[in-house]
């Protein structure tokens, strides 16, 4: 009943305000000659009547009941969603989430007023419906087409936007910090629907955000000695710690136990200079790439086209047990539309290049590098699609940059560094990247599933499934090649 009365109040106020809005037109006709003072008086009378009706219908039997009613059906006026919420989560944040979802019949979790502090299957279903409803703001920027049911950073951003608008439209949903709040009729105000222009994103801001999501992947052997470590780059594309990198970097995760257990140790490094930060496991590597390139594992400087050359790693835990792993990792959204390549444009390229360093320097003094480049020619593997593109020469054009990111002027990941031509200086080299659209097409070709569908699943379960069902055959191809056996 409270919601109905509030709607009546809104309708009445809107009707009167529309009359005010047409006063300037109606001045020439005596039929519409109503003074502003008379309209304001009518508004105050209507508000007083509505307030009295609300009081008579909703007055609780005791102050304790009133306090309980407010505590169970409202959200603190200063509250914002800042935590990742998923199945199994508990707390007041979950209850506030249910309250907000229950405001819309399309996302309703339960009967309004019966919200709980437990995130179960019904809440997950409500979140999925919410993500579907606002797909263009939550799923599409991340390259997702299926809802995840998890309240991640993009979902929280939309929830907080709705909180802000709901506070304006329906103040009964929120409580103030005052212990004794009373309701008083307030003269309505007319607010402008115009918004300030959106400030364009600068490459300085894009660079800062990209570097936070950039990682160095380094693999060493247990023997150490004169072994030169493998060093590559990667970009976090999901706040759960999912890293996109090249298959020719991630293939060493398949050789972890070659000859002896834990022969090869691969770690994820971050920072300036790069420091050991996380452990990761292989979540996916393109079988199409491994099957076509496993023989190059013995080559010191293997070459390739970049086709299918991508993999996913999942951060599992920290190197230092005393430093907790972030609940959310900095990340960069992907853009697979290829609209960037319709015209030449500026882009940011970022990686951990290590071409001019030895093994010791790579481990101690490796810094990330980023550079503003110009997207150039595009290339296709089948003559129909845009699969790779040129970004010319830059300081990033070195060994070790493989798996680094190419970021558009909109701050989206549009490509993954994959190959470079040889030349004496970096400015003379031509760096190439595979497009995100190629990665998504390749994934669909191999698995039969959309890339976004895979990201909607539990990443730990996806990694476990890949490890048990797909990785063993790929590992055998590589190990047989290293052992000199014919696969």
Query: Per-residue pLDDT tens for 428-483?
Result: 678 889 999 999 999 999 999 899 888 888 999 999 999 999 999 999 999 998 88
131 within some domain: yes
79 within some domain: no
Based on the fold, state whether residues 351 and 455 are members of the same structural domain.
yes
80 within some domain: no
195 within some domain: no
Answer whether 346's CB lies under 8 Å from 394's CB: no
Q: Say what the pTM is.
A: 0.62
End residue of a domain, out of 156, 175, 194: 175
The whole-number pLDDT of residue 171 equals 52
**Cα 406 from chain centroid (whole Å):** 17
Helix (H, G, I), strand (E, B) or coil at 70: helix
456 within some domain: yes
Helix (H, G, I), strand (E, B) or coil at 414: strand
Based on the fold, state whether residues 378 and 428 are members of the same structural domain.
yes
Range of the domain at 231: 203-482
The whole-number pLDDT of residue 63 equals 40
The whole-number pLDDT of residue 110 equals 81
Based on the fold, state whether residues 365 and 311 are members of the same structural domain.
yes
| CATH for 161 | 1.10.101.10
Based on the fold, state whether residues 7 and 105 are members of the same structural domain.
no
Across 86-194, the runs of DSSP E, i.e. the strands, are 174-175
| CATH for 325 | 2.40.10.120
The whole-number pLDDT of residue 254 equals 95
Based on the fold, state whether residues 50 and 118 are members of the same structural domain.
no
The whole-number pLDDT of residue 238 equals 94
- Packed helices 121-133 and 92-101: angle between N→C axes, nearest 10 degrees: 50
Tally of domains in the chain = 3
Based on the fold, state whether residues 358 and 430 are members of the same structural domain.
yes
Based on the fold, state whether residues 344 and 393 are members of the same structural domain.
yes
Based on the fold, state whether residues 42 and 161 are members of the same structural domain.
no
Based on the fold, state whether residues 310 and 221 are members of the same structural domain.
yes
End residue of a domain, out of 158, 175, 192: 175
Query: For residue range 147-195, what is the model confidence (pLDDT) as tens digits?
Result: 899 999 899 989 988 887 765 555 555 444 443 333 334 333 333 333 4
The whole-number pLDDT of residue 44 equals 63
The strand order across the sheet containing 431-435 reads: 369-374, 346-351, 405-407, 413-420, 431-435, 388-392, 378-379
407 forms beta bridges with 348, 413
Based on the fold, state whether residues 148 and 12 are members of the same structural domain.
no
The whole-number pLDDT of residue 8 equals 36
Answer whether 415's CB lies under 8 Å from 408's CB: no
3/157 Cα distance (integer angstroms): 26
198 within some domain: no
140 within some domain: yes
Helix (H, G, I), strand (E, B) or coil at 23: helix
Q: Phi first, then psi: give them for residue 317, nearest 5 degrees.
A: -165, 170
329/236 Cα distance (integer angstroms): 8
Based on the fold, state whether residues 314 and 402 are members of the same structural domain.
yes
- The DSSP output letter for 350 is E
Cβ neighbours for 363, distance < 8 A, ≥ 6 positions apart: 218, 220, 229
187 within some domain: no
Across 4-74, the runs of DSSP E, i.e. the strands, are none
Task: Please say whether the dihedral angle defined by the alpha carbons of residues 299, 301, 305 and 309, taken in this order, is positive or negative.
Answer: positive
Q: Phi first, then psi: give them for residue 373, nearest 5 degrees.
A: -130, 175
For the chain (487 residues), the mean pLDDT of every run of 10, in chain order, is 37 34 34 52 61 50 37 72 89 92 88 87 91 90 84 90 70 46 38 43 89 94 61 94 96 90 92 93 96 86 86 95 89 90 84 72 82 87 92 76 91 89 65 93 93 89 94 94 76
Based on the fold, state whether residues 286 and 387 are members of the same structural domain.
yes
């Amino acid at each position: 009943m409270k919601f109905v009365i509030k709607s009546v109040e809104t309708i009445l106020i809107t009707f009167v305000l529309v009359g005010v809005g047409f006063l300037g037109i109606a001045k020439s006709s005596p039929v519409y000659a109503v003074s502003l003072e008379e309209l304001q008086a009518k508004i105050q009378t209507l508000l007083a009547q509505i307030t009295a009706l609300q009081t008579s219908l909703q007055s609780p039997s005791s102050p304790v009941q009133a306090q309980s009613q407010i505590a169970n059906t409202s959200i603190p006026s200063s509250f914002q969603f800042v935590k990742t919420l998923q199945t199994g989560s508990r707390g007041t944040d979950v209850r506030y989430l249910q309250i907000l979802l229950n405001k819309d019949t399309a996302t309703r979790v339960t009967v309004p007023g019966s919200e709980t502090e437990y995130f179960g299957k019904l809440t997950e279903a409500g979140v999925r419906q919410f993500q579907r409803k606002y797909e263009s703001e939550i799923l599409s920027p991340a390259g997702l087409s299926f809802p995840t049911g998890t309240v991640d950073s993009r979902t929280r951003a939309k929830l907080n936007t709705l909180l802000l608008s709901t506070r304006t439209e329906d103040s009964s949903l929120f409580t103030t910090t005052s212990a004794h709040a009373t309701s008083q009729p307030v003269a309505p105000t007319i607010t402008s629907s115009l918004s300030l222009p959106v400030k364009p994103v600068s490459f300085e801001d894009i660079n800062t955000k990209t570097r936070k999501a950039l990682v160095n992947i380094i693999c060493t052997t247990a023997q150490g000695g004169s072994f030169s470590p493998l060093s590559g780059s990667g970009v976090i594309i999901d706040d759960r710690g999912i890293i996109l990198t090249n298959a020719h970097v991630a293939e060493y995760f398949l050789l972890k136990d070659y000859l002896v257990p834990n022969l090869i140790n691969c770690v994820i490094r971050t920072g300036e200079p790069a420091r050991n930060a996380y452990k990761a496991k292989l979540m996916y590597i393109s079988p199409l790439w491994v099957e076509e390139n496993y023989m190059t594992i013995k080559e010191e400087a293997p070459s390739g086209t970049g086709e299918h050359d991508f993999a996913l790693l999942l951060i599992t835990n920290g190197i230092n047990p005393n430093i907790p792993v972030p609940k959310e990792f900095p990340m960069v959204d992907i853009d697979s539309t290829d609209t960037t390549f319709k015209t030449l444009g500026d882009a940011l390229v970022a990686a951990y290049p290590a071409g001019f360093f030895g093994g010791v320097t790579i481990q101690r003094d490796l810094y990330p590098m980023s550079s503003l480049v110009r997207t150039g020619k595009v290339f296709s593997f089948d003559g129909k699609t845009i699969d790779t593109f040129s970004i010319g020469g830059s300081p990033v054009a070195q060994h070790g940059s493989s798996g680094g990111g190419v970021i558009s002027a909109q701050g989206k990941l549009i490509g993954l560094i994959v190959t470079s031509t040889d030349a004496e200086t970096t400015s003379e080299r031509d760096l190439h990247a595979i497009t995100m659209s190629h990665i998504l097409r390749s994934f669909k070709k191999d698995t039969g599933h959309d890339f976004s569908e895979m990201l909607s699943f539990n990443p730990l379960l996806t990694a476990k499934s890949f490890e048990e069902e797909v990785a063993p055959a790929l590992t055998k191809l590589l190990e047989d090649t290293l052992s000199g056996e014919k696969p």
